[in-house]
Structure 1
Amino acid sequence: MAALSLRHLTPNLSSSPKPLFHPSHLSKLSIPRRNIRSSTSIMASAAKKVLVPVANGTEPLEAVVTIDVLRRAGADVMVASVEKQLCIDAAHGVKILADSLISDCERSDFDLISLPGGMPGSTTLRDCKTLESIVRKQVAEGRPYAAICAAPAVALGSWGLLKGLKATCYPSFMEQLSSSASAVESRVQKDGKVVTSRGPGTTMEYAVSLVEMLYGKEKADDVSGPMVLRSNHGDEYSFAELNPIQWTCGDSPKILVPIANGSEEMEAVIIIDVLRRAKAEVVVASVGEKLEIVASRNVKLVADVLLDEVIGNSFDLIVLPGGLGGAQAFTESDKLVNLLKKQRESNKLYGAICASPALVLEPHGLIKGKKATAFPAMCNKLSDPSEAENRVVVDGNLVTSRGPGTTMEFALVIVEKFFGRDKALELAKAMVFVH
């Protein structure tokens, strides 16, 4: 395998040392912001400030992928709750802990504001007068703004901020959008200072386009390369399968998704989101001592339970997200490793993505005799990397995948193995992942 330069590896190393001081820390200090800016003007000017408002019912995949990708580019992203509390009950039972309340953002200027979709989240964003005021100011001052899924029609369109502009949105909201914008069916549409996009399945393309708007094409390429994004957006997905077996379950598969500090948030959230859309019973378990975890790009997620609470339960599938810090926590958790070993010994299903196949499954003998893939820079840790160039590999009761940009395919393959390809493609089309 060709050696990767450090430049290409670094963006995906979720536990790489954090700087001792970063402009995003300013909001946590009691010292007035204006007094600090003069002494850190170079640092402050380097980090573009981005606002991502969230509400109960926000589509978590759209919010978290956007935040994750922009933070990979070095943006100082403020996740602001438009509710009365920081903890957001996003769609599909995903709990996100915001950085601040929207009222804390009224006096700030942003280089970009990006609205995630989801219902009723988009309606709540629309009805928040503080947010409307912030976005109107953004538009009046000629700074970039963006929205995805239902939000272009429900929020930006309702505020009259798309007049005379080309915009797109989730297919079922296109008629509503056409009354307030020039509606087009692009996966991502840029017109002047506004970027819009169609839905969960276009979020990575959308997020990368926001990086390009803020930082330029070269930076967007630097960020997207290590994520292992698809080049054929909208096409049907494919995967490699060896030693095929029938994946069986009861009425609905019971799936355990462990998370830990340093887990890759977009991988975790995409897996949870997609599998719950397919009506699987997904249990999100924190491997740490608290339900709240701080993921690799500092997105705060709240698990359903602690791992200890479900250690004696039976699961049809255990699936590990990646992220370097999270994978380290997984491999050091005797309880989780024993759970995985019992899963394998019982010929039950298990899987992992990104760093986790190489750092969790391989060292504990859980890939022995099987083909697998992993994050490209870690495939040399696999005892048999012969199938590692595939984006998703299924070998009997094991499923593995490469990285953030392959997570949608990874989750859809799991749906396909449980419910059939027709069901998986129906879901992929509903999410606008495939045409």
Structure 2
Amino acid sequence: MNTKNLDGKRIAFLATDGFEQVELTKPWAAIKEAGADVKLISPKTDKIQGMNHFDKGDRFPVDLDVADASAEDFDGLVLPGGLGNPDALRTCETSVSFVRDFFKQHKPVAAICHGPWVLIEADVVRDRKVTSWPSLKTDLTNAGATWTDEECVCDNGLVTSRNPDDIPAFCAKAIEEFAEGKHAKQTV
């Protein structure tokens, strides 16, 4: 999997307090090992709090305020899950707009666990096949997506997975999609 096929690619990770730590750290390590330049983007400008399920994990320094970030400057986006993280991001219009812009620019996006909550708010899941943490099934279906209980689903550059157990498949498919680049059918 680590063939440096992302050399020259810039990948954004969008998160805030309450992200599931392993859903950021493992994809971050895999994508970086594949050669990408990775940046942590957040509506917070200092450090953000990771979680190990319901227990506090580590704090991570933010590279760039989402207000100063542009999808044009990145080749792909990763949305980690956790409970508080996507719930807070979906109420931040700047974060939602940042996510939506990746779809407008036909760039690959990877979201795991509760991460697809932000995709719902960005109105980018209609007519797409996705997966997520099971409690999001109704939300995603109501937003027009076709939800399925699979380890990893890819629909025209949108990669989704259910939970930390799916991280190996999630990382492999995200790296493949980031390496492939733009997707003509990846639209809003």
Q: What TM-score bracket applies, with the shorter chain setting the length?
A: 0.7 to 0.9
Match of 1:134 in 2: 98
Match of 1:41 in 2: none
Identity %: 28
> Is 2:156 the partner of 1:156?
no
The alignment's C-alpha RMSD in Å is: 2.1
User: Stretches of 4+ moved more than 4 A in 1?
Assistant: none
Match of 1:82 in 2: 43
Preserved CA contact (<8 Å) 2:82 2:114? yes
- Residues 82 and 73 of structure 1, relative CA distance in 2, 3 Å threshold: same
* TM-score of the two chains, using structure 2 as the length reference: 0.84
> Is 2:162 the partner of 1:202?
no
Preserved CA contact (<8 Å) 2:71 2:102? no
Distance 2:71 2:164 in 1: 31
The structure whose residues are more often helix, as a share, is 1
Distance 2:135 2:101 in 1: 29
Q: Which runs of 5+ in 2 are unaligned?
A: 181-188
134-143 vs 67-76, which moves further: 134-143
Q: 1:109 aligns with which of 69, 73, 81?
A: 73
Distance 1:81 1:130 in 2: 10
User: Amino acid of the residue matched to residue 159 of structure 1?
Assistant: A
Q: Aligned-pair distance for 1:163? A: 0.5
Alignment of 1:214-293 (within 5 A): 214-215=178-179
Q: Specify the SS of the correspondent of 2:90.
A: helix
Higher radius of gyration, 1 or 2: 1
> Is 2:64 the partner of 1:100?
yes
Alignment of 1:142-181 (within 5 A): 142-152=106-116, 154-180=117-143, 181=145
Q: 1:71 aligns with which of 32, 44, 68?
A: 32
Preserved CA contact (<8 Å) 2:161 2:170? yes
- Residues 188 and 107 of structure 1, relative CA distance in 2, 3 Å threshold: closer
Distance 1:64 1:55 in 2: 14
Distance 2:135 2:141 in 1: 11
Higher RCO (CA 8 Å, separation ≥ 6 residues): 2
- Residues 189 and 107 of structure 1, relative CA distance in 2, 3 Å threshold: closer
Preserved CA contact (<8 Å) 1:106 1:130? no
Alignment of 1:350-429 (within 5 A): none
Q: Which runs of 5+ in 1 are unaligned?
A: 1-7, 12-44, 217-435
Distance 2:178 2:71 in 1: 21
Preserved CA contact (<8 Å) 2:80 2:113? yes
Deviations 1:33-92 (A, max 9, x none): xxxxxxxxxxxx941111101111011110111111100000111111222x32111223
Preserved CA contact (<8 Å) 1:112 1:145? yes
Deviations 1:266-288 (A, max 9, x none): xxxxxxxxxxxxxxxxxxxxxxx
Distance 1:176 1:127 in 2: 15
Q: Specify the SS of the correspondent of 1:56.
A: coil
Match of 1:191 in 2: 155
User: Amino acid of the residue matched to residue 151 of structure 1?
Assistant: G
Distance 1:160 1:100 in 2: 24
User: Amino acid of the residue matched to residue 144 of structure 1?
Assistant: P
Q: Aligned-pair distance for 1:113? A: 0.9
- Residues 107 and 190 of structure 1, relative CA distance in 2, 3 Å threshold: closer
Q: Aligned-pair distance for 1:213? A: 1.3
Alignment of 1:7-18 (within 5 A): none
Match of 1:54 in 2: 15
Preserved CA contact (<8 Å) 2:153 2:159? yes
Distance 2:114 2:71 in 1: 27
- Residues 182 and 191 of structure 1, relative CA distance in 2, 3 Å threshold: same
